[in-house]
Amino acid sequence: MSLEHIAPRAGERTVQMFFKGTRKRAWTVVALMRLQGMTVEEIAQDHGVSPEAVREAIEWCDANRELIEREERETARLASA
**Cβ contacts of residue 73 below 8 Å, gap of 6+?**
none
Return d(Cα 73, Cα 23) in angstroms, integer: 21
Residue 36: give its domain's CATH number: 1.10.10.10
Band the pLDDT of 81: cuts 50, 70, 90. confident
Q: Domain total for the chain?
A: 1
Q: pLDDT per residue over 20-34, tens digit each?
A: 999 999 999 999 999
10 is a domain residue: yes
Q: Report the distance separating Cα 60 and Cα 76, nearest Å.
A: 22
1 lies in some domain = no
Q: Model's pTM, two decimal places?
A: 0.87
